[in-house]
Amino acid sequence: MKNIQLIEPTALDATALYFGDNGRAFCGHLNHSGATAYYTGRDISGQKVVKVSEEDHAEFTREGLILACESCASAARKSAK
Q: Give backbone dihedrals phi and psi of 18, rounded to 5 degrees, phi first.
A: -135, 155
Distance CA 41, CA 20 (A): 10
Residue 50 falls inside a structural domain: yes
Which band of pLDDT confidence, cut at 50, 70 and 90, is reported for residue 81?
Answer: very low
Residue 76 falls inside a structural domain: no
Host domain of residue 28? 17-62
Judging by beta carbons within 10 Å of its beta carbon (0-12, 13-18, 19+), is residue 50 exposed, middle or buried?
A: middle
Residue 34 falls inside a structural domain: yes
Residue 2 falls inside a structural domain: no
Residue 10 falls inside a structural domain: no
Structural domains counted in the chain: 1
User: What value does the mean pLDDT of the chain take?
Assistant: 85
Give 12 or 74, the one with higher predicted confidence: 12
Give 79 or 34, the one with higher predicted confidence: 34
Give the model's pLDDT for residue 22: 82
